[in-house]
Amino acid sequence: MLVHRRYLLKASAASLAAGALAMPVNAAPAAPLTSTLGRDATQYGVRANSPDDQTRALQRAIDEAARAQVPLALPPGIYRSGLLKLSTGSQLVGVRGATILKFTGGASQLSGEGADHIDLRGLTLDGGDIKLPNRRGLIHCTGAKDLRIRDCAIARSGFAGIWLEKVAGAVSGNMFTDIATTAIVSFDAQGLIVSQNTILGTRVNGIEILRSAIGDDGTMVIDNRIENIAAGPGGSGQFGNAINAFRAGNVIVRGNRIRNCDYSAVRGNSASNIQISGNSVSDVREVALYSEFAFEAAVIMGNTVDGAAVGVSVCNFNEGGRIAVVQGNILRNLRPKRPIGTAPDDDAGVGIYIEADASVTGNVIENAPSFGIVAGWGKYLRDVAITGNVVRNAFVGIGVSVMPGAGTALVSGNMISGAPRGAVVGLDHAKPVTPDLTNDGAQKYAQVSLSGNVVK
């Protein structure tokens, strides 16, 4: 039998009407939002906007919800509390920008030790500039698996914003402002992602990925916005960095926007197999992208740097620092001086500095007051290939160490424009000691192989 479309529509409408008539008039309304999220904190006596300290009631609510393995929902309002302890399964859910935990004092505001599956969402933590003990964060977690901290705001912490030790999980989509030391500190991570956070104003570093001994770490630091990082304690480079990886191997630093740092945008110290790629950097006052000391292998690729004392530095062959690819970066408007406190013989106004077992290719460098590219420091030069780069407006285009004991450098197929002291020049450490080696009749050095460079 042929069934007409109009008949089907009429039949469907009739069925819906019949169903609606069959519903009882006093049907239960939809469940409130808090019940869909889990337990409502107010059922445990927690009172929003009360002038009284809510620590005891909040702790009871946190404990009961964790035992029941359900989230604890905190409605909008201000909750004053001291230290709150998190246990396995603790999940605190607030309304972004409206659920505010005001810190009244203690070692931390939220702390979990050996507690897995913690989830903190939509909370604003106001530390009130109350001083915390050393090596503590407003959120402090140790020995945790599957930690999630997301869409929270952390402000005015008296030490770190978040402090993690031996943690696996993710810290994502959070906002940090006015942090006394570092926004996010991770020691000995077990598999961590730090992504899409906004960090505005810290006095030590932005993000620290640290290990107590050199080893594999694998933390991924991706797509964060980091600005206004001060070197409050001073020092010669350990402070004032947007992202600092120390002893941590296999760290990936990708796609971050970094601006206005007293020292480096990304600093890898004894961090082997570090990957620094696709970051946008401006207005940093020391080395923008750094791999230093006892490391093996660094990839620094596809970054833009506008304003730094040195664009890229891969150094300390004397400490075992070796193997690098520096490729496809744009480095411009280099600064002629480093910050006060660095070693007086540290170079500045340099696009790329490299020492050992490395390829430097396809980079564009413009406006370098000293050197576009430097290969080697005295005898510390080995097996460096500098090919296919464009260097514009540098005092010296490419400098290569020609000191006794220096190894081999290949300088080939580069475009060098506007280098008044010379396109390719031999160096004694930071001092040019030869005429332009690309000139006809210039002295040849066995360890420097030149070919196919275009000089304008």
Those residues with Cβ within 8 angstroms of residue 214's Cβ, 6 or more apart along the chain or in another chain: 247, 249, 270, 272, 294
Report the share of the chain in percent with pLDDT over 70. Answer: 91
Instruction: Give the CATH number for residue 116.
Output: 2.160.20.10
Provide the residue type at 139 as one letter: I
pLDDT at 343: 64
Statement: residue 264 has pLDDT above 60: yes
Going by pLDDT thresholds of 50, 70 and 90, the confidence category of residue 344 is: low
Give the separation between CA 44 and CA 386, rounded to whole angstroms.
Answer: 67
Does 200 fall in a domain?
no
Give the separation between CA 224 and CA 123, rounded to whole angstroms.
Answer: 19
Does 361 fall in a domain?
no
Statement: residue 192 has pLDDT above 90: yes
- Is there a contact between 92 and 59 (Cβ–Cβ < 8 Å)? no
Helix, strand, or coil (residue 346):
coil
Does 169 fall in a domain?
yes
pLDDT at 13: 41
Going by pLDDT thresholds of 50, 70 and 90, the confidence category of residue 38 is: confident
Outline where DSSP puts E strands in 114-224.
119-121, 124-126, 137-142, 147-150, 153-155, 160-165, 168-172, 175-179, 182-187, 191-195, 198-202, 205-216, 220-222
Helix, strand, or coil (residue 136):
coil
pLDDT at 21: 32
Token output for 343: 């070693």
Give the separation between CA 47 and CA 78, rounded to whole angstroms.
Answer: 9
pLDDT at 407: 97
Give the separation between CA 87 and CA 35, rounded to whole angstroms.
Answer: 21
- Hey, CA dihedral for 359, 285, 424, 414, is it positive or negative? positive
Domain count across the chain: 1
Going by pLDDT thresholds of 50, 70 and 90, the confidence category of residue 401 is: very high
pLDDT tens, 4-24? 433 333 444 433 333 333 333
Average pLDDT, stretch 118-140?
A: 98
Those residues with Cβ within 8 angstroms of residue 401's Cβ, 6 or more apart along the chain or in another chain: 375, 376, 377, 378, 379, 380, 381, 409, 426, 427, 428, 429
3 state SS for 203-251: CCEEEEEEEEEEEECCCEEECCEEEEECCCCCCCCCCCEEEEEEEEECC
Provide the residue type at 83 as one letter: L
pLDDT at 136: 98
pLDDT tens, 412-453? 999 999 999 999 999 999 999 999 999 999 999 999 999 999
Give the separation between CA 210 and CA 248, rounded to whole angstroms.
Answer: 6
Interior/surface letters 261-291, b for 16+ CB within 10 angstroms, e for the rest: bbbbbbbbbbbbbbbbbbbbbbbbbbbbbbb
Does 350 fall in a domain?
no
pLDDT at 347: 84
Q: What's the full length of the chain, in residues? A: 456
Statement: residue 29 has pLDDT above 60: no
Statement: residue 1 has pLDDT above 60: no
Burial class from Cβ neighbours inside 10 Å (0-12, 13-18, 19+) for residue 1 reads: exposed
Does 205 fall in a domain?
no
Statement: residue 164 has pLDDT above 70: yes
3 state SS for 235-300: CCCCCCEEEEEEEEECCEEECCEEEEECCCCEEEECCCCEEEECCEEEEECCEEEEEECCCEEEEE
Token output for 116: 């897995």
Does 20 fall in a domain?
no
Going by pLDDT thresholds of 50, 70 and 90, the confidence category of residue 308 is: very high
Does 164 fall in a domain?
yes
**Greater pLDDT, 318 or 33:** 318
Mean pLDDT, the chain, rounded, equals: 92
User: Which residue range is the domain that position 138 belongs to?
Assistant: 35-184
Token output for 273: 């197999």
Question: Which residues are 245's β-sheet partners?
Answer: 209, 268
pLDDT tens, 215-255? 999 999 999 999 999 999 998 889 999 999 999 999 999 99
Does 133 fall in a domain?
yes
pTM for this model (two decimals): 0.91
